[in-house]
Amino acid sequence: MRVLTYGDIMDVGTSVFTAVAKLDGAKLILSFSGVIRVDNPYKHLENYINDLEDELKESVINEIDFDFRELNFCNSNGFYVIMDITEIIYNRLSAPVLVKRLKDDDWQQETLPILLNIDEPEINNRTTFKEFSEL
């Protein structure tokens, strides 16, 4: 397993959110954890997003996981960053996407599919949701 890129949001000296892109063979794993409460998360994650685009150019990927299970809170401004990141993946790669999410989390159930643009047939056809219980 190789870490491709890593981004985080610091709030009062503590990391409150992390986004990690890892490559496990030909599987790309993007995991999100913590909380997004800051006003401008893009400012914190701009380098991560740019690095992610660069890394994808040099990687062979035939499977993709988005793991949201540890993303405990996402404010409205965080939505745009989630959209930016997942849009890059959907646009740059054609591999099937597995979305891991919590079955009892309102935003992951109701809003996350909107952020992934799941109503688009091309995205819908290659996306599968897997539901998990919170530990």
Binding to another protein by residue 105, rule CB under 8 A? yes
Amino acid occupying residue 46: E
Distance of alpha carbon 98 from alpha carbon 80, whole angstroms = 20
108-116: long-range contacts, CB 8 A cutoff, minimum separation 24: 108/68, 108/71, 111/79, 112/68, 112/82, 115/79, 115/82, 115/83, 115/86, 116/66, 116/86, 116/90
State the CB neighbour count (10 A cutoff) for residue 9. Answer: 23
Residues shown for the chain: 135
Applying CB under 8 A, among 43, 47, 73, 124 the residue interacting with another protein is 73
User: Among residues 2 and 103, whose Cβ is nearest to another protein?
Assistant: 103
What's the distance, CA 48 to chain centroid? 12
Applying CB under 8 A, among 1, 106, 121, 125 the residue interacting with another protein is 106
Binding to another protein by residue 110, rule CB under 8 A? yes
Which among 129, 127, 84 has a CA at the least distance from the CA of 110?
129
Binding to another protein by residue 107, rule CB under 8 A? yes
Q: Measured from the CB of residue 26, what is the shortest distance to another protein in angstroms?
A: 31
User: Among residues 24 and 104, whose Cβ is nearest to another protein?
Assistant: 104
By CB under 8 A, which span of 2-10, 17-25, 38-46, 59-67 interacts with another protein?
Answer: 38-46
Q: Measured from the CB of residue 83, what is the shortest distance to another protein in angstroms?
A: 6
The footprint of another protein (CB under 8 A) covers 11, 35, 37, 39-40, 42, 73, 75-77, 79-80, 83, 104-107, 110-111, 114-115, 119, 134
